Copies of this chain bind each other. A is one copy, B any other.
C-alpha cells in the first residue's frame, strides 16, 4: 500500500473503514465497450498477364444479428468485463474474430457521446489493429458469424474555409469544413458514409469535430470511429514503421511501397522510398521468381532495434 492507512477523515474513519462502508451504487454508470478497427491489406485477385496485383486497404466488419442496428455492419467489439482492461477486452474480441493474438494494437480514442447507443449509456474505447496480409487470406473467406473484409475507399469530397466576422464580444475564429466520403465494399455489399470534419481555430487552439452527415449500413457511430482510425493510420505511417505490421514475414520493397501508397492514397517515388525503407528492414537471401519479370529480393522487418 503506497498510502497512509492510519489517517482519519472528517468522519473519523480510517481508509479501510471507509472502503468497507463504501457504497458504489449512488451514481449512474456507463457501459464500456471496446471496439476495434482491424486493418489489413487486400490484394485484388484478378489481373491479366504479368503485372503485380493491385492492393487495397481492408477493414473487418461484422453484421449485427440483434437489435439495435440489426443487419447493419459494425466494428468487432464487446463490453469490457470487470476483471479486465479495455485492452484485454479488445484482444479477447480480436482472438474471437480472427484467432490471432500477438498482433499490433493501439488504443485510439474513447468516444462518449451520450446518444451514441440507443439502448443506454455506452462509451466506446476504440483500438486499431494491423494484421499481416498473409495470415489474413486464411481467414478472408471465413463467413461463420458473418464477418467480412471490406475494401476501403476514403477521400475528401469538398472543403471550404470561413472567416466569420466576429460579432461583438466574440473572439475571432476560422472554420474549415471538410466532407469525407467513406465507402466500404465487399462483393455486392456497399456501405457508405459522409463525415463532416469541422476544424474551428481560435486564438486558444484548434478544435476538431467529426460528425456523421450521411450513413448507409454502418452501425452506431462506427463511421466516425473508422474515420478517426484512418486518419491516425495515415498520420502515423509517415513517420513510423507502423505499416510493417501489415506485411507478411518476407516481402519485397515494392510490396511494402504499395502498402504505403494504399494507406496514404498517393504514389511515392521508388528511389526515395527505398532509401527510407532501408532503415526499417533487413535483407534476406531469398528472391521472388516465376513472375514474368526480374526477380525481387525479399526483406524482413528489422525488429531488434527500438
Q: Does A29 make an interface contact (CB < 8 A)?
A: yes
B176 lies within 8 A of A112 (CB): no
Q: Does A297 make an interface contact (CB < 8 A)?
A: no
Scoring A residues 159 to 202 as 1 if CB is less than 8 Å from chain B, else 0, what string do you get? 00001000000010010100000000000000000000001011
B22 lies within 8 A of A120 (CB): yes
B83 lies within 8 A of A112 (CB): no
Interchain CB contact (< 8 A) of A82 among B24, B83, B114, B171: B114
A32 lies within 8 A of B123 (CB): yes
A interface majority secondary structure? loop
Interchain CB contact (< 8 A) of A68 among B3, B86, B303: B3
Closest-CB distance, A66 to chain B (whole angstroms): 6
| Distance of A174 Cα from B298 Cα, bound (Å) | 24
In the assembly, how many copies of this chain are there? 2
Closest-CB distance, A16 to chain B (whole angstroms): 9
B199 lies within 8 A of A86 (CB): no
A28 lies within 8 A of B82 (CB): yes
Q: Does A50 make an interface contact (CB < 8 A)?
A: no
Scoring A residues 12 to 43 as 1 if CB is less than 8 Å from chain B, else 0, what string do you get? 01010011001010011111100000000000
What chain B residues lie within 8 Å of A301 (beta carbons)? Answer: 203
| Distance of A42 Cα from B3 Cα, bound (Å) | 29
| Distance of A66 Cα from B17 Cα, bound (Å) | 13
What chain B residues lie within 8 Å of A257 (beta carbons)? Answer: none
Q: Which residue of B lies closest to A218 (CB)?
A: B2
B69 lies within 8 A of A3 (CB): yes
A80 lies within 8 A of B24 (CB): no
A201 lies within 8 A of B114 (CB): no
Q: Which residue of B lies closest to A72 (CB)?
A: B3
Stretch at the interface among A99-107, A259-267, A274-282, A284-292: A99-107
Q: Does A49 make an interface contact (CB < 8 A)?
A: no
Q: Does A158 make an interface contact (CB < 8 A)?
A: no
Q: Does A245 make an interface contact (CB < 8 A)?
A: yes
What chain B residues lie within 8 Å of A249 (beta carbons)? Answer: 203
Closest-CB distance, A159 to chain B (whole angstroms): 10
What chain B residues lie within 8 Å of A125 (beta carbons)? Answer: 110, 112
A9 lies within 8 A of B67 (CB): yes
**24 pairs across A/B with beta carbons < 8 Å?**
A7-B71, A9-B70, A15-B70, A15-B118, A18-B68, A19-B68, A19-B118, A22-B119, A24-B119, A24-B121, A29-B30, A30-B30, A32-B32, A80-B112, A82-B114, A84-B114, A102-B204, A103-B204, A104-B205, A107-B109, A107-B110, A176-B306, A203-B301, A206-B306
Chain A residues with a Cβ under 8 A of chain B? 2-4, 7, 9-10, 13, 15, 18-19, 22, 24, 27-32, 65-72, 79-87, 102-105, 107, 109-110, 112-114, 118-121, 123, 125, 163, 171, 174, 176, 199, 201-206, 212, 215-216, 219, 239, 245, 249, 301, 303-304, 306
Q: List the 4 shortest-distance A-B pairs measured between CB atoms, nearest first.
A: A104-B205, A18-B67, A29-B29, A24-B120
